[in-house]
Amino acid sequence: MASITIRRLEKNYGAAPALRGISLDIAEGEFMALVGPSGCGKSTLLRSVAGLETVDAGEIRLGDDLINEVAPKDRNIAMVFQNYALYPHMTVARNLGFSLRLKGVARGDIERRVAEVAQILGLASLLERYPRQLSGGQRQRVAMGRAIVRSPRAFLFDEPLSNLDAKLRVQMRTEIKALHQRLGATMLYVTHDQVEAMTMADRVAVLRDGRIEQVGAPLDLYDRP
């Protein structure tokens, strides 16, 4: 895993600024939640770190490496979305192994890694199933498995639970938190759900109008009168 260091990041859509000089440090192994009102720039910040947006100014570092100019697929950063598009015609095993196949990893190594990740996520008995044969929670786990399988140096989550029903959302919070601890993973987690941020994150960054308004431990941010 690696730290993420963001310095004076700026991003404009045409003349409209979306990020107005963001600086944020996420330590190696830290779970940082990113909250703020709709349109404040959460998604833009996440996509910039992933390399899906080109930034106009500033620096993004993964560990010591400046990654502004690095292609998304070479960043070693995994992203989990709310619309976890699993390949419907592939089994769970093939969904999990797909990115390794693209990379040309040897079949035996893929099998080992897929089995390992399936074990971590409680998917070992579901490897031969197709996505349509899975529950919502199981699908979400496969989506996380696809992110884990390549051994990324950091994880980005974009409202991963917002399509799930309330009960499952609570369960998945616990599972993602357990995963964070087990992997010692660096995580930047966007949510509009303050309870989610509060219960899961080591620290919470509050974004407003393209700027960081506050960063702190959940209790420091929310427990004040």
Window 54-93: contact mask with ligand ADP (x via CB under 6 A): -------------------------------------x-x
Of positions 38, 54, 182, 224, contacts ligand ADP by CB under 6 A: 38
Please, which residue, 40 or 62, has the CB nearer to ligand ADP?
40
In this chain, which residue has its C-beta nearest to ligand ADP? 43
Of the chain, the end-to-end C-alpha distance in Å amounts to 37
Count of chain residues binding ligand ADP (CB under 6 A): 21
Three-state SS at 30: coil
- Interface region with ligand ADP, contact rule CB under 6 A, candidates 59-67, 78-86, 104-112, 212-220: 104-112
Taking the complex as a whole, the smallest distance from the CB of residue 128 to ligand ADP amounts, in Å, to 7
87 phi-psi bin (left φ>0, alpha ψ -120 to 50, beta other): beta
CA angle at 32 for the pair 28 and 33, rounded to the nearest 5°: 165
Please, which residue, 38 or 54, has the CB nearer to ligand ADP?
38
- Interface region with ligand ADP, contact rule CB under 6 A, candidates 39-47, 73-81, 136-144, 176-184: 39-47
Strand order of the β-sheet with 65-66 is: 16-26, 4-13, 57-62, 65-66
Between CA 29 and CA 47 the distance in angstroms is 20
Taking the complex as a whole, the smallest distance from the CB of residue 80 to ligand ADP amounts, in Å, to 15
Is residue 110 within the footprint of ligand ADP (CB under 6 A)? yes
Please, which residue, 40 or 80, has the CB nearer to ligand ADP?
40
**Sole residue written with tokens 């260091």:** 5
List, in order, residues 6 or more apart from 7 with CB less than 8 Å away.
Answer: 23, 58, 59, 60, 61
Strands 16-26 and 4-13: antiparallel
Pick out residues in 150-209 that bind ligand ADP (CB under 6 A).
Answer: none
| Structure tokens, 29 | 């192994």
List, in order, residues 6 or more apart from 71 with CB less than 8 Å away.
Answer: 51
Please, which residue, 111 or 165, has the CB nearer to ligand ADP?
111
Query: What is the C-alpha R_g of the chain?
Result: 18
Which residues contribute to the site for ligand ADP (CB under 6 A)?
Answer: 13, 18, 36, 38-44, 91, 93-94, 97, 101, 107, 110-111, 114-115, 127
